Structure formats: C-alpha cells, structure tokens
C-alpha cells in the first residue's frame, strides 16, 4: 500500500501525519466555489463504509486540495463517532475510531495523561515521599513482656514509633530463642493485615535476645497498630500494642 492510499483510507498509522495534513489542507486550500468537489453522499460512504469505495482512485485526491471537502469529512466523522459513542459507550472503540475529528482530543488526553505521569513522578502526592528515607534508629524494649501467644500483653508500655523508616533494635522478651524472625506491623492480631514487614536474625546472650530490623512506616496513617514478632520455627506470633505517630 502506498502512502497516498494509506492516507486516503485513513489507516491506523500515522495519525499525527493525518492531523498535520488536515490542518495544512484547511489552511491552504479554501474552495468556496466547491470546484470539483466530491458529492456529499460519496463523502458519507467514505466515512461510514470506506470499503464500498475504491479510495485508490485518484479522484479522491481532491480532498487533499479542498478545505471544504476536508471540513465536510471532519464533520461527518464527528457525527459518526458521536453516533458510535452513543451506541457503544466504549472508550476503546471511541479512541480507535477517532481519527481526523477526534485526534486532537486524543492528543490532548495523551498530553494530559503524560502530564499526570510527569507530575506523579516528580511531585508524588503520597506523603510517603515527603518523609526522609534515612532510617531512624530506635530501641524497643520488650524484654519485660510477659506475653501470652496471640493474646494480651503485659508489663510492657505501648510502643510508639514515628512515621519514618525505622531501624528498630528490639530487645525481645527474656528467654526468647535466637534465629530468624519476621517482625511486622499489623492492624489486627491475625497478622493478615501487615502494613510493614522486616526480617532479622536474633542474637542470644544469656537471657537476653535482641535483633535489629528495618521497618518502613512512612506510608502508614498515624494510629494504633500491633507490632508482631514471629520466630521462624514457631508459627505463633506475639503481638504488642503499637502507636505510629
Ligand atoms: Zn471539495
């Protein structure tokens, strides 16, 4: 298919080129006397059933030199697209069928979307990004905790953490086993609602067990949570009340 034919058939390719050509024709080829114009019915067929026409026929090149026919085609396409839009209400089909008439709108949308993407990448709306990624080192002392599994905790004041990346040095309850732990922040005691999670290996020295874990709390709304610790060899988790500020 040569370029001329693909232009005339309003192919899927080169949409931008079509628009430029269209602008060019509208500007440069006014034809108020409608000299050599293609009749309205044929233009209608062109828009609605182009396959019924032999668009490679050189006579159709007239529209490339006639602002009036071009304008008529634009108008017909608008009507067609409006009709299809009403029929289908389908955005994908609309976008596909919009060519000359709808291209500007599509381009504006693309530019707008591009702008949004640019905006998002450069000015993230999430408050997460506004908070520094530098970890805050904190110690959480759970050593006195006399916890019951999945149950109430006692003898440990509620833990408070900032909405930051926290490098938490956690003193686990006395006699806790060493080894791998998963530390998470949850909204309930089921442990199914993890909002932040970190893994660490705990060291044991006598009755003391401690670990250091990184938790990213920047995206968490302020509020009350649970800090949960789970030892790799023990499916049960321990939950401690936690406040994120
Ligand atoms: Zn014409």
Nearest to 48 by CA among 12, 1, 97, 5: 97
What is the reported pLDDT for 117? 54
> 52 CA to middle of ligand 1, Å?
20
Token pair recorded at residue 62: 């007239």
The single residue listed with the structure tokens 């970190």 is 198
Strand partners, 90: none
HSE at residue 202, side-chain half, CA atoms within 13 A, is: 27
- Using the mean position of ligand 1's atoms as its centre, give its distance from the Cα of residue 82 in Å: 24
Q: What is the pLDDT of residue 143?
A: 86
Whole-number Å distance, alpha carbon 33 to ligand 1 midpoint, is 9
Q: Residue 66 and residue 28: Cα distance in Å, rounded?
A: 9
Put simply, whether the predicted model's pTM sits higher than 0.95 gets the answer no
147 CB contacts (<8 Å, ≥6 apart)? 153, 154, 156, 173, 238, 239, 240
| Whole-number CA gyration radius for the chain | 34
List every span in the chain annotated with CATH 2.60.40: 129-244
Q: What's the CA-to-centroid distance between 31 and ligand 1, angstroms?
A: 7
pLDDT of residue 236: 81
Query: Could you say which of 3.40.1620, 1.10.730, 3.40.50, 2.60.40 is the CATH number of the domain covering 129-244?
Result: 2.60.40
For ligand 1, the distance from its centroid to the CA atom of residue 209, given in whole angstroms, is 88
pLDDT in tens, the chain (245 residues): 444 444 444 445 557 777 888 899 999 999 999 999 999 999 999 999 988 998 888 999 999 999 999 999 999 999 998 888 887 765 555 555 555 555 555 555 555 555 555 545 544 444 444 667 788 888 999 888 875 455 555 567 778 999 988 989 999 888 888 999 999 999 888 767 888 999 999 998 888 899 999 899 998 889 998 889 988 888 788 888 899 99
How many CA atoms, within 13 angstroms, populate the side-chain half-sphere of residue 76? 18
Q: What is the pLDDT of residue 123?
A: 47
Query: What is the 47 CA–ligand 1 centroid distance (Å)?
Result: 15
């Amino acid at each position: 298919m040569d370029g001329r034919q693909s232009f005339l058939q309003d192919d899927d390719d080169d949409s931008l080129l079509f628009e430029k050509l269209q602008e060019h024709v509208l500007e440069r080829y006014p034809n108020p006397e409608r000299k050599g114009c293609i009749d309205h019915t044929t233009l209608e067929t062109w828009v609605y059933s182009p396959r019924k026409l032999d668009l490679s026929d050189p006579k159709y090149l007239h529209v490339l030199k006639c602002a009036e026919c071009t304008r008529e085609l634009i108008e017909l396409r608008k009507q067609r697209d409006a009709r299809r839009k009403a029929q289908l209400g389908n955005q994908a089909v609309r976008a596909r069928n919009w060519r000359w008439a709808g291209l500007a709108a599509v381009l504006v949308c693309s530019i707008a979307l591009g702008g949004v993407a640019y905006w998002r990448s450069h000015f993230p709306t999430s408050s997460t990004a506004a908070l520094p990624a530098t970890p805050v080192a904190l110690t959480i002392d759970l050593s006195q905790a006399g916890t019951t599994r999945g149950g109430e905790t006692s003898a440990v004041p509620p833990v408070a953490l900032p909405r930051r990346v926290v490098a938490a040095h956690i003193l686990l309850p006395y006699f806790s086993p060493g080894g791998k732990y998963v530390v998470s922040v949850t909204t309930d005691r089921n442990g199914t609602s993890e909002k932040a999670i970190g893994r660490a290996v705990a060291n044991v020295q006598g009755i003391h067990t401690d670990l250091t874990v990184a938790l990213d709390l920047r995206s968490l709304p302020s509020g009350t949570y649970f800090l949960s610790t789970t030892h790799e060899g023990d499916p049960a988790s321990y939950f401690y009340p936690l406040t994120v500020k």
